[in-house]
Amino acid sequence: MDTPAAEADIDDDLVDRLIRTQHPDLAGPLTLVANGWDNVIYRLGTDLSVRLPRRQVAVDLIVNEQRWLPVLAEYVEVALPVPVRAGVPGEGYPWPWTIAPWFDGRTVADVPPSGRSGIAVPLARFMTGLHRPAPPDAPRNPVRGVPLADRDEVVRQRLESIPRSAALGPLWEKLVALPTWQGPPLWLHGDPHPGNLLLNSAGLAAVLDFGDLTSGDPATDLAAAWLVFDENAREVFRSHVDADEVTWERARGWALAVGTALAVHSADNPSMAAIGDHVLDQVLLT
């Protein structure tokens, strides 16, 4: 299955007009850098980026980032894409949009899994800082932070089309039956896969794309142990996060759930397909 179709026409001319109309002091050269499932990303000049929803489903996600990223940035040591300006509908474009900092570097997805061990400790520290009780008005997300059982039907459907289902199916049966999170809802990034982690020469430079921002079970984020790392780096990561055995196993379940999504929805995105292959290999190891 391919990336969902865009529900708004976004091109260089539209983005330039939006900026010049609403934030003319920031107008500058634009370069398209990503056209993903939910958002289009442009680089603006050398120091800024522009993030625009390409589907209605992503609109609330942009609003959540604008509201909460300034708060969450106070909790963590790594850089976050805290909005510089908030855009509103205009020029025929129907939804809110964001101007945020541009971070130089390359994503972890561009590095082989064997070369990612250096960010195991920084990523664990990021999650330790982020995973604190969230307020009652934190964003709600039906597919992140919830009990694994809420994802049971869709995961089983995906497994029907995955060649490794003979091994993955019984594993999912075991993991989805684990006890649910009994603690308070914690702040969650919601989607900590390698494409949302940025590296520079110093290491972990930024954590990107808080579109799935929510609260709930920290196991959702701890799935990064399988999404990002190989077996050795995973143990380093685990030694620096506060997770009991049941939470750790639920995180494995979340990794399997996300891995199946990537496996069946990335036919036109080799980078995401590679992440899906990696995580499904890893969850079968430990």
| Residues of each domain in the chain carrying CATH 3.30.200.20 | 12-101
**Residue 43 phi, psi dihedral angles, 5° rounding:** -90, 135
Chain position carrying tokens 């930024």: 206
The token pair at 82 is: 């805290």
| pLDDT above 80 (res 189) | yes
- How high is the pLDDT of residue 35? 87
CA dihedral defined by 223, 228, 232, 238, rounded to 10 degrees?
A: -40
One-letter amino acid of 130: L
pLDDT digits (tens, 9 = 90+) for 41-55: 999 999 999 999 999
pTM: 0.93
Q: What fold is seen in the domain 12-101?
A: Phosphorylase Kinase; domain 1 (3.30.200)
- How high is the pLDDT of residue 2? 65
- How high is the pLDDT of residue 266? 77
Tell me if 234 sits within 8 A of 225, measured CB to CB: yes
- How high is the pLDDT of residue 33? 92
- How high is the pLDDT of residue 269? 81
Chain position carrying tokens 């990335």: 266
pLDDT digits (tens, 9 = 90+) for 97-130: 999 999 999 999 999 999 999 999 999 999 999 9
pLDDT digits (tens, 9 = 90+) for 136-152: 999 999 999 999 999 99
Chain position carrying tokens 């900092």: 101
High-pLDDT (> 70) share of the chain, %: 99
CATH code assigned to 106-283: 3.90.1200.10
Distance of CA 74 to the CA centre of its chain: 19
| Residues of each domain in the chain carrying CATH 3.90.1200.10 | 106-283
DSSP 194-214: GGGEEEETTEEEEE---TT-E
